[in-house]
Amino acid sequence: MSVDCNNICIRVSYGGRSVHLLRIDQSGGANDISYDAWNYLYTGRSAITNPVAGGGIQMDYETVSADNCRSLIKTPSGKLPFTAANSMNYIASCLNQPNSWVAKNHELRNILNPTCTWGYDEVCTLNMNVSNQPTCPHQLGVPAVLTGKPVMNVMYPTGQQQVAY
């Protein structure tokens, strides 16, 4: 399903366990979740401490209030971060729905890529009455090396953590 401006949080359940997950993308034919979430739902333990291999398992899911996913958002402001250089079509569509959860709970950051290795970790402002391009303390979209904000992958099926590139 497409990610809209309100229904971005789901609860996935299996075996008496459940997790809340942010819907951040869509997949053509699969209903993918992170390996660590899948492993927890399947075994009751994190893939980091008890990795197992397996395949598709029928799990239940339901869309829930985005407030249920607040604990997954780690910004100082508590707002859901979006890359300022790459998210403007989505953000503009949500701002056209001013009462939507994303319109009320987002921030734009001057990070250039989803693995957080390029750009500046800084909050940008947006005034759609002036421009559809965010204003940031540094120039928007510069491929400056960004350190200190690594995105970690939990590797299938070992459970080892590795910096995403």
Q: Which SS3 state, helix, strand or coil, does residue 66 take?
A: helix
Mean pLDDT of 130-141: 96
pLDDT in tens, 38-83: 999 999 999 999 999 998 999 999 999 999 999 999 999 999 999 9
What count of Cα atoms within 13 Å lies in the side-chain half-sphere of residue 109? 22
Q: Are strands 80-83 and 106-111 parallel, antiparallel or unpaired?
A: parallel
Tell me how far apart the alpha carbons of residues 11 and 3 are, in angstroms, rounded to a whole number.
15
Distance in angstroms (rounded) separating the CA atoms of residues 56 and 35: 11
pTM: 0.91
List, for residues 4-33, the tens digit of each pLDDT value: 999 999 999 999 999 999 998 877 767 789
Q: How confident is the model at residue 165 (pLDDT cuts 50, 70, 90)?
A: confident
- Other C-beta atoms lying within 10 Å of the C-beta of residue 48: 17
**Helix or strand or coil: residue 21?**
strand
pLDDT per position as a tens digit, 120-132: 999 999 999 999 9
